[in-house]
Structure 1
Amino acid sequence: MIYLAPFILVAPLFLLLAGERISARIRARREAAAVQARHAWIDERIRTERNPGRRTAWRMIRNDNLGDL
């Protein structure tokens, strides 16, 4: 029984670390899906916008080129 003590004490730590990694992966996937949806929405705005200046502004927002503003 003494031989199992280190495993019993360390196992919760490994489970905690595995849970953190899994939740980080889920969070990363959720953030990537949100960015993809945002880009699709902006692409639709670029396609439907008639004002060329506003189209350029939407492209800059899409590409994160806001340093000029």
Structure 2
Amino acid sequence: MRIIRLKEVMETTGLARSTVYKYISEGIFPKPVSLGERCVGWVESEVQEWILARIEERDLAKESLLGP
């Protein structure tokens, strides 16, 4: 298991800091893990799963547009 910091989360997802925290508050992005008093990180596999879910959503939407 690997913990990644916000900079890497932003680089991996392409999201801005404010968007990451907005999505967390909306419950649609993995919550960070406290690493200390003023330090948080994310479980890398959870962030990767979130990205894969976005790809699946895209592919399912494309399939529904094309029809059977």
TM-score by length of 1: 0.38
Higher relative strand content:
2
Q: Which structure has the bigger radius of gyration?
A: 1
Higher relative helix content:
1
